Amino acid sequence: MYNNNEKDQEEIFSKVLRAGRRTYFFDVRETQASDYYLTITESKKFTNDDGTFYYKKHKIYLYKEDFNDFRTILGEMVGFIIKERGTEVISERHQKDYEKDKNFDSANISNSDFTDLNFVDI
């Protein structure tokens, strides 16, 4: 018999973020003591050799007592990445654009070509 307490827990509130081959599920669930907690699930789509699909899932359980520290550290990490590398996405998908623009002269970029971003703590 298959018994999974999480499957028995109903989602109270849910949001989905689709991001290419990845999908993120944010679900508020209820503990047995009637308190709420958050699950964040990353689901990534893969293709078998025969063309069929399968998904790998990774899940984080986040409880209220950890919310403030989690939010603080997440904000610090996001801020660090944006400060150090900006918001431009650089990945293997963009290699074809890199080849096209490799003669690009960065000396011709002015500060007015960029937008300042301000982030509010959540």
Per-domain boundaries in the chain? 8-102
pLDDT > 90? residue 66: yes
Give pTM, 2 decimals: 0.62
> Which segment of 51-55, 75-79, 101-105 scores lowest on mean pLDDT?
101-105
Give the whole-number percent of the chain exceeding pLDDT 90.
53
Question: C-alpha dihedral over 68, 69, 75, 79, to 10 degrees?
Answer: 150
Predicted confidence band at 3 (pLDDT cuts at 50, 70, 90)? very low
| CATH architecture label of 8-102 | Roll (3.10)
* Sequence letter at residue 39: T
CA distance 42 to 112: 37
